Structure 1
Amino acid sequence: MESTEAVQVIMVTLSMQGHMNPMLKLAKMLVSKGVHVTLATNDVARKRMLDSKISTNFTTINSTGRLSLEFFSDGLSHEFDREKDSGTFLASLKANGPKNLSNLITDLKANGNQFSCLITNPFIPWVPGVATEHGIPCGVLWIQSATVFAIYYHFIKDPDLFPNLENPNGILELPGIPGLTVGDLPTFMLPCSPSHFRLLVTEFISILDKVKWVLGNSVHELEEETVNSLEAVKPVYSIGPLVSPSLLGKEETIEGSVDMWRAADSSVEWLNKQRPSSVIYISFGSIIMSSKQQIQSIATALKNIKRPFLWVIKASETRKDEFPRGFLEEITKDKSGLVVSWCPQEKVLTNQALACFVTHCGWNSTLETVVAGVPVVAYPEWTDQPTNSKLLVDVFKVGVRMSNCEDERLSVEEVERCIMEVIDGPRAGEMKRRAVELKNAAKNALEEGGSSNRNIDKFIAEISGKPSSNNV
């Protein structure tokens, strides 16, 4: 490609970890190709990063000269629990964000910044309007799967394809997405979902006409049929997987990361002492809080299985009474397992001690486990997780799905069945082989000449005003 030294991009995202990390990784990808990037988010992120004592990463990111973090107010105090009361948070962000982001862009432009493109998170649908106000062409980084994008798009544009969303076993026929049931759909579009979540979906699809580019955090080869089906309605440039270079076996060219909670260094040290392919890793992401009943069932199953495990439970230090009596003391004594409040997941997934990953199926975790080549036990709960579970189990074929009983309780027997099926079941070998195949496909997509690398070059050429024939 020709030099892109003059190209500047501003990226806007929510302060949630699952939203910031893909944006930061795209920023680093663009920077590695000579683009200057400003990453803007609501300012509670700055306090969280500093409070978690990772200000070194914060200052390292800003010291690169080509990548900087900026903040704008969402109208709420730093102490307000945005995850617990998402409705109030989104309403305040919608009311205060446009003006505050616009003021930030005005200040940045006054300091000599000339942005060739604004890339927004999909769940802040007012941002393209701010981009238009400032005369900046707009793109969106779709941080979920192309399959979920297609489902949302068809749901809004052709609702007749979704005749009955009350029956979870109802079969749906959507372009490019075979074998889908209502139970596989993202929860935001279901009648039981809070109205502000359904509104987000509607607003996002409605503003796509203002968006020139849709960049997808996926791999063309992983969702080829779906991506091809979207070509005629809203093309998606698959540029993923947006993961750390360490997962790809490469060195980090730009140091620094964004993490909202301090990770336990002890987890990797403990893993290094375990046998290869022996450890069960359990983590349900940065938002979901496991219930006492789920904790009890998983703990009992792990005790019965008698295999080493690393288990991430947010705020685990304050939830000790929710474990079976004597469980934590026993695993500490015999060193059979480790429970932590947070861990460096990408380092964990690449550790040779791992046997499988029990996951909530967030899209970031889904891509990370695919790139690491680790089989999964899928236990989805909300938003896009049921769809990602469908992909992991029935399309990618790298795991099994763990389900609640009819009374919505998670049984000990179900946990045991799923973990043992992935580790020692008759299909375990095939799952592992398939995981390695997908790992190689994901890595190859980012190499020179790979599908994702060609798409990101095509995007940069277009925002630079230099049309490229670099098509996938």
Structure 2
Amino acid sequence: MAVKGKRQPHVLAVPFPAQGHVRPLMKLCRRIASRGIKVTFVNTEHIHAKVVAAMSEEDKRQNPIQLISIPDGLPPDDDRSPGFELMESVIRTMPGNLRNLIEKINGRSSDEKITCVIADITIGWILDVTQKLGAESVVFQSAAAAGMAMVLQIPKLIRAGNLDMNGSVKKNELINLSDNIPSWRKNELPWSFPGDLKTQSMVFETFMAGGKTAHRAKWLLCNTFYELEPPACNLIPNFLPVGPLLSTNNSKSSAIGGSFWLEDTTCFSWLDKQQIGSVIYVSFGSIAVFSQDQLNELALALEISSRPFLWVVRSNLANGSIVKFPNGFLERVAKRGKIVEWAPQEEVLAHSSIACFISHCGWNSTMEGLTMGVPFLCWPYFSDQFHNQSYICDMWKIGLRLNPDENGLRSRLEISTKIEMLLSDYSIKTNAVKLKEMALESVSGSESSSQNFETFIYHLKN
């Protein structure tokens, strides 16, 4: 029972300004709001505009959380690609902008005051600001528990000589936290920016700062479930795995909000016409880009496979430019291929016609794919995606690697061969179905993630 006179809970959520961070935190916030708790979601102005533009008028009316924005300090024409400029500007401007925002909200009414701030661990240092304003601190990890465990171990790894002060692995050694957690290789750490030590050093520093704040936070929430990563979960104090964070977690939730692009829903009528378990779904998330030569190899591999495919091709997928398909490709695959700029991925993966997922292995895609029981062909791009690949292929055995050749290209032969290997491997599909059942069970009734979420809600209200 709530204490008489106690302030009503008001949660302020702050993601890092990138699709893979905004979307899962927004899903969590919609679940929190569905329990009668006021939630204000803070994006940068640039991201806020993208999210709102991608929502229909009905979505805006139904959205249970308040969406507001703060500047990110960059000029309007900046491309805001992940890197030094974006990170430096966020670090420089976000603390002051957030302080002003919270003071403004708190000044309106005593009933409206912010009681809790949920911050992405990559910007966890902002909680130093919010704590001074009387708000409780909660850290959110949009990636794997293993990544959060790694961040919390940074000081120990530096003292032991495993990492230098730029976050680089010394002596080409592997980093290993537990026998039951895949090792991290050089250039595959959460903060790795190969070839850009300046950016890597800054990102590493922000992770260190976020890790220090996380040790003082009341709770550390994560889009995972205990049964998926028990060794990693056990390494983290005050840890509440609340995943998989899906649009279907709660009947009061919906799929609205969080996407940076308009979702092409015409893919559903196309999927409905395909045979069960026949479609290759291809999507590399919001950041990955490829050379035109590599995209040609992928296109020709999909053609060689003779299977139906749904391919998400962003307008900037070819190293920031429009993709040029091989001569005659679109005409030759017209009857069995569909290409869209952005898809409602969670719903696509849940469709009965999907056979496998060619993925960059971002954590959100990983969680959505495994929760729908879909086998993976892994094509990691950067950062934690390589570690997620190790989980998928080595620990969970629900996918296969797509290996580059001596020129760094995944060849059409490699891709088409691995498609056939994956779809003829009964054990991989069996493992994927088992993991799906485990994931869905974790968010049902009194099971792990469901119970953890209830614990957090009870704490917010009391």
Q: TM over 0.5: same fold?
A: yes
- Find the residue that maps to 1:70 and give its secondary structure: strand
- Find the residue that maps to 2:205 and give its secondary structure: helix
The one of 408, 429, 440 aligned to 1:432: 429
Scaled by the length of structure 2, what TM-score is found?
0.90
Deviation at 1:280, TM superposition (A): 0.4
> In the alignment, does 2:449 pair up with 1:452?
yes
Hey, what does 1:144 align to over in structure 2? Answer: 143
C-alpha change, 1:440 and 1:161, in structure 2 (3 Å) is farther
Hey, what does 2:311 align to over in structure 1? Answer: 311
CA contact (8 A) 1:17 1:260 kept: yes
C-alpha change, 1:432 and 1:130, in structure 2 (3 Å) is same
- Find the residue that maps to 2:86 and give its secondary structure: helix
How far, CA to CA, are the matches of 1:317 and 1:146 in structure 2?
A: 29
Hey, what does 2:108 align to over in structure 1? Answer: 111
- Whichever residue aligns with residue 154 of structure 2, its letter is F
How far, CA to CA, are the matches of 1:178 and 1:458 in structure 2?
A: 27
Question: Deviation per CA, 1:176-234, whole angstroms, max 9, x where unpaired?
Answer: 6445251594252476453322223222223224422111110000001221233xxx3
How far, CA to CA, are the matches of 1:346 and 1:5 in structure 2?
A: 36
Hey, what does 1:70 align to over in structure 2? Answer: 68
- Whichever residue aligns with residue 387 of structure 2, its letter is T
5+ long unaligned stretches in structure 1? 466-472
Question: Deviation per CA, 1:296-323, whole angstroms, max 9, x where unpaired?
Answer: 1111111111111111111179966632
Hey, what does 1:22 align to over in structure 2? Answer: 24
How far, CA to CA, are the matches of 1:161 and 1:390 in structure 2?
A: 24
Hey, what does 2:380 align to over in structure 1? Answer: 380
The one of 169, 182, 185 aligned to 1:182: 185
How far, CA to CA, are the matches of 2:205 and 2:193 in structure 1?
A: 12
Hey, what does 1:329 align to over in structure 2? Answer: 331
How far, CA to CA, are the matches of 1:102 and 1:386 in structure 2?
A: 36
Deviation at 1:47, TM superposition (A): 1.9
- Whichever residue aligns with residue 19 of structure 1, its letter is H
How far, CA to CA, are the matches of 1:167 and 1:291 in structure 2?
A: 31
How far, CA to CA, are the matches of 2:392 and 2:70 in structure 1?
A: 37
How far, CA to CA, are the matches of 2:66 and 2:144 in structure 1?
A: 27
CA contact (8 A) 1:156 1:205 kept: no
Deviation at 1:392, TM superposition (A): 1.0
C-alpha change, 1:155 and 1:94, in structure 2 (3 Å) is closer
CA contact (8 A) 2:55 2:257 kept: no
How far, CA to CA, are the matches of 1:72 and 1:148 in structure 2?
A: 28
The one of 141, 165, 169 aligned to 1:165: 169
C-alpha change, 1:216 and 1:423, in structure 2 (3 Å) is same
Deviation at 1:172, TM superposition (A): 4.0
> In the alignment, does 2:301 pair up with 1:297?
no
Question: Deviation per CA, 1:326-372, whole angstroms, max 9, x where unpaired?
Answer: 1112222xx12111111111111011110000000010000000111
- Whichever residue aligns with residue 125 of structure 1, its letter is G
User: Which shifted more, 450-459 or 355-364?
Assistant: 450-459
Hey, what does 1:468 align to over in structure 2? Answer: none
Deviation at 1:274, TM superposition (A): 0.6
C-alpha change, 1:44 and 1:390, in structure 2 (3 Å) is same
5+ long unaligned stretches in structure 2? none
C-alpha change, 1:366 and 1:418, in structure 2 (3 Å) is same
Deviation at 1:442, TM superposition (A): 1.1
C-alpha change, 1:125 and 1:198, in structure 2 (3 Å) is same
Hey, what does 2:210 align to over in structure 1? Answer: 204
User: Which shifted more, 178-187 or 303-312?
Assistant: 178-187
- Whichever residue aligns with residue 191 of structure 2, its letter is F
C-alpha change, 1:314 and 1:255, in structure 2 (3 Å) is closer
RMSD of the alignment, in Å? 2.6
Hey, what does 2:417 align to over in structure 1? Answer: 417
How far, CA to CA, are the matches of 2:416 and 2:16 in structure 1?
A: 37
CA contact (8 A) 2:315 2:341 kept: yes
- Find the residue that maps to 1:403 and give its secondary structure: coil
- Find the residue that maps to 1:310 and give its secondary structure: strand
- Find the residue that maps to 1:38 and give its secondary structure: strand
Scaled by the length of structure 1, what TM-score is found?
0.88
CA contact (8 A) 1:402 1:414 kept: yes
CA contact (8 A) 1:98 1:127 kept: yes
